[in-house]
Amino acid sequence: MEALMPALDAVFLAPFRDMVSLPDFLIQVIWEGFVSGILYALIALGFVLIYKASAVFNFAQGIMVVFAALVLVSLFDMGVPAWIALILTIGVMGILALTIERVVLRKLVNQHEAILLMATIGLTLVLKGAGQLVFGGEPKTMITEELGFSTGSSDWEVFDGIVIFQHIDIAAAVIAIVMVAALGVFFSKTRIGRALRAVADDHQAALSVGISLNQIWAIVWFASGIVALVTGIMWGARSDVSFALEIIALKALAVLILGGFTSIPGAIVGGLIVGIGEKLFEVYWGPLFGGGVEAWFAYVLALIFLLFRPQGMFGERHIERV
């Protein structure tokens, strides 16, 4: 018993004592978590867009982020002005979306979702190989300033300490919120947006109102390509543009488990839970395990969550029929 008490204390009490004793640090940690949560949410958002419209679980979303960022940076390196490079990159993502729709998706209509998932894994390999072939494997620096983002930071004095906010992080948060809002408007107000929702609900119904499935797929892939580009810029501004991001992007899968595959709010909430949760866990509990728990926290959280609520936070329980 005596041996157990300190252990219980270390797990259940000490971390909270630490939190309360240094509230400014806690806020800093939560903010950091919030920002990476936003980025997870953005990647998850790309997944959700595609899954909603085509039931394709797009494993390649992570590599699309890297790919978009690399195109942008490389164009700039070749001497293209930043804003033109941005527009050109959007064009490249458009072409990519069209190509994927033509070459891959159209041929795999009505296949089992596991098959579609594996196709996107193949797509990941192609994009990764092509990316490395064209842009090289070395990490690159994002052209943050050139795009007009401030690289500075602001300090907030609170609880006798300082919390540092990177401007780029604030920008990321704002852009993410704007983007989610824009998508919300797009889905509810525009014709194509409504069509997309129709497709998600019922393919037959969508076809009967005269919407081409192929167009819709191309559009959602393009949309998630743009989301990927934004994600890439934000992420690249915080660290480097490198292929390591691909592995980190897998965390978005855990986010999806929490938020559900088809829910945009779910993706946001899930992303924030994962982002903040893993930061808190890493900082306050990590040392107990020897650190580095960020690598698996998200998945284990998702796993535990799944055992209790397999349908996700926002999903409905469905009845199996025989």
Partner 1 sequence: MFYREAGQFKTTYADDQALLPIAQDRVGLIIVLAIAFLVLPIVASDFFLSSIMIPFLVFALAAIGLNILMGYAGQLSLGTGAFMGVGAYSCYKLTTIFPDLNILIVLLLSGFFSAGVGVVFGLPSLRIKGLYLAITTLAAQFFLEWCFIRVGWLYNYNDSGAIEVPQRELFGLAVTGPHATPETRYLIILTIVAVMTLVAANVLRGRIGRSWMMIRDMDIAAELMGVRPLYAKLSAFAFSSYYCGVAGALMVFMWLGSAEVEAFDINHSFLVLFMVIIGGMGSLTGCFMGAAFIWVLPVILRAIPPAFELDILAATMEHISSIIIGALIIFFLIVEPHGLARLWRVGKEKLRTWPFPYAT
Nearer to partner 1, 81 or 287 (CB): 287
Q: Indicate the SS3 state at residue 314.
A: coil
Angle between the 23-54 and 61-77 helix axes, to the nearest 10 degrees? Answer: 100
CB of 186 to partner 1, least distance (A): 26
Scanning 5-13, 90-98, 125-133, 219-227 for contacts with partner 1 by CB under 8 A, the matching segment is 125-133
Q: How many Cβ atoms are within 10 Å of 145's Cβ, its own excluded?
A: 12
CB of 205 to partner 1, least distance (A): 24
Q: Are 52 and 200 in contact (CB under 8 A)?
A: yes
Longest dimension (CA), the chain: 72
Q: Does 139 sit near partner 1 (CB under 8 A)?
A: no
- Select from 10, 13, 95, 103 the one that contacts partner 1 (CB under 8 A): 103
Q: Which residues pair with 114 in a beta bridge?
A: none
- Select from 5, 133, 209, 319 the one that contacts partner 1 (CB under 8 A): 133
- Select from 118, 147, 170, 192 the one that contacts partner 1 (CB under 8 A): 118
Q: What is the spatial distance between Cα 301 and Cα 135, in angstroms, rounded to a whole number?
A: 36
Number of residues that bind partner 1 (CB under 8 A): 48
Which residue type occupies 163?
V
CB of 130 to partner 1, least distance (A): 6
CB of 92 to partner 1, least distance (A): 17
- Select from 117, 164, 178, 207 the one that contacts partner 1 (CB under 8 A): 117
Scanning 36-44, 131-139, 187-195, 210-218 for contacts with partner 1 by CB under 8 A, the matching segment is 131-139
Q: Does 320 sit near partner 1 (CB under 8 A)?
A: yes
Which residues neighbour 71 within 8 Å (Cβ) at sequence distance 6 or greater? 88, 89, 92, 93, 135
CB of 60 to partner 1, least distance (A): 10
Scanning 78-86, 115-123, 194-202, 262-270 for contacts with partner 1 by CB under 8 A, the matching segment is 115-123
Angle 60-39-138 from CA coordinates, rounded to 5°:
60
DSSP 8-state code for residue 161: E
Q: Which residues pair with 156 in a beta bridge?
A: 163
DSSP 169-218: HHHHHHHHHHHHHHHHHHHHHSHHHHHHHHHHH-HHHHHHTT--HHHHHH
Q: x/- contact string, 264-303, with partner 1 (CB under 8 A)?
A: -------------------------xxxxx-xx--xx-xx
Q: x/- contact string, 146-185, with partner 1 (CB under 8 A)?
A: ----------------------------------------
Q: Give φ, ψ of 30 to 5 degrees.
A: -65, -40
Q: Are 30 and 276 in contact (CB under 8 A)?
A: yes
Residue ranges in 41-80 that form contacts with partner 1 under rule CB under 8 A: 57
Q: How far apart are the first and last CA of the chain?
A: 53
Which positions lie near partner 1, rule CB under 8 A? Answer: 57, 103-104, 107-108, 111, 113-115, 117-119, 121-130, 132-133, 137, 247, 250, 253-254, 256-257, 261, 289-293, 295-296, 299-300, 302-303, 306-307, 310, 320, 322
